[in-house]
Structure 1
Amino acid sequence: DNDNDTTDSKESSIVEWVVSCFDESSGGYGAEVGHDGHLLYTLSAVQILAMADQLDKVPVQRVTKFVASLQQPDGSFIGDQWGEVDTRFTYCAVSTLSILQQLHNDDIIAPIDMDKAANYILQCRNLDGGFGAVIGAESHAGQVFCCIGALSILQRLDVLLLLLSPSSSGATTRLEWWLAERQCDSGGLNGRSEKQADVCYSWWIISALSILGRIPFISQKRLASFILKCQDPDDGGIADRPDDMPDVYHTFFGIAGLSLLGLLHNHSNHNQPTRRRIDPIYALPQDVVERLGLKAQVIQHDDDDHDEPLDPRLERYNVLRVP
């Protein structure tokens, strides 16, 4: 009982702090109390409050207006008033609006131009199959997740398939293989060519492959081994790579990657708390996504060489079946 009381107290204090980070002048959330509102921190705040089942503390209309005000004429999004454009911000915008029931709500008109947002993302696609932060920028695994995740929430993955190739399979494979080629000799994944493996890409890449229905394109066993080698056996936590200092950032992404690989949910010890599965699109526990009724689109391939059963956590979404 004392443990439960402590947990409830910590959650309440976290919720209180997140609420206090709301920026009255902009209508978004800042990184700290008194900071300017920014799309990155607005999504983080909404995600935290969603997990705590405290979305009633969000001034939905003000946040919606803030997010919508940041969409540019070409469909892209800036992060705040200072004007930086990045496909990360597009993902933050559409994910925030979806969680707040403002994107796929039959009772209201979408506050952003979803077609323009999707078209801008598609223009950030490169010849190697990846996506960059802006049009013409180098492909990066983090940006690939943001672009694929945003298209998934916008339910525009079918447009991606059509634009990649008349037959859809050839150029789609460029994207999938670009992701697969991120696996290094260590088993870990890097964010772009000629870079070291880093645990954080266990999330960015596996989540994108999950949405695309291509997790088997990498060695899951070798990746899991890499993540586990990055643990600190004495103090706990997970680092970016073996023998480095662990931090909260990489601990989250390491655990999230193991969850997407299905390696955290097969225990039989009933004395342990239930380990909640993470959703690869919204980066929220699966039960939270289900409670909110969030929508998205995912791909399932029905080809002979890589036929993979659909991940059960994705069955609730609009499934785009590709021959």
Structure 2
Amino acid sequence: MRLKSTFNAVAAASLGLLMQPSFALAQALETVGAPVPRGTEHQPAATNIARDLQWLDHMILIIITAIVAFVTVLLLYIMVRYNRKRNPTPATFTHNSPLEVAWTIIPILILVFIGSFSLPALFEQQEIPVADITIKATGNQWYWSYEYPDVKVGEDTLKFDAFRIDGATQIDDAAAGWGKDQPMSTAGVMSDVAVKKLAYYGYKKEDFLLATDNAVVIPVGKTVVMQVTGADVIHAWAMPAFGVMQSAVPGRLGQLWFKADREGVYFGQCTTLCGKDHAYMPITVKVVSQAAYDAWIAQATSTGNLRLASN
């Protein structure tokens, strides 16, 4: 489902131009949302949804840490104070009404307190607003296909596939001069071919297995509604820095929304086990200025070139 246009007939002749650094978006945009080695924290939040979720996560962590500490101290106290040596004659009472009321009421109050924050965050995600931009994402084994239904290309709409960048044949650009594509069995292995392809698309070696040849491009500060489905098995479209995830179920159309407030490159993944290459099904989103987005749309619809020029 690659984007088709008359430009494709002369694409090979234009390859030298496409290799110029001006087309490498990574030189113009900071990588914001990406996993880091030994990372234990959330990715930087780029939406209000993500900020609310991260705050809720930290708040609940404080509450459960306090509960665990209290229960641990209480258990240690009981073990020391009421062991057989120190308390040879155990009590014979069957219950303690005030204590039973307390350990029933206090958890209820804690859950109500948590719910007063978690339910509004849930409703914010589930109430889909009016979209400035609508994008349809379709999960395939093992790549994503995208469609901008409001962007026309002749009688069709803007459509493209997004494959991970590696040394395998899923990205067949041998004419660019980086050598023969490698067997699919080496798709998850860093190779010279993979490094050359990453550089060609404007990425660093650190972006290996995170970057895709084509990226979802959106303008900063605009409400984006993603319609998510699957073509074969169940996948999931997830972007941690945006705080969103939606299952891609064949035959069903799910929705999520976000409004990114920071320009940059963001990486996500399929988060539902979908087969042998589930771990190699990345998602790349590039948040750009409105002017850069308009220029990308004009370029993609007129020439078929899906790479965004530097701002």
- Check whether TM > 0.5: no
Query: With structure 2 as the length reference, what TM-score do the two structures score?
Result: 0.23
Larger helix proportion, structure 1 or 2? 1
- The structure carrying a bigger strand percent of its residues is 2
**Which of 1 and 2 has higher RCO (CA within 8 Å, sep 6+)?**
2
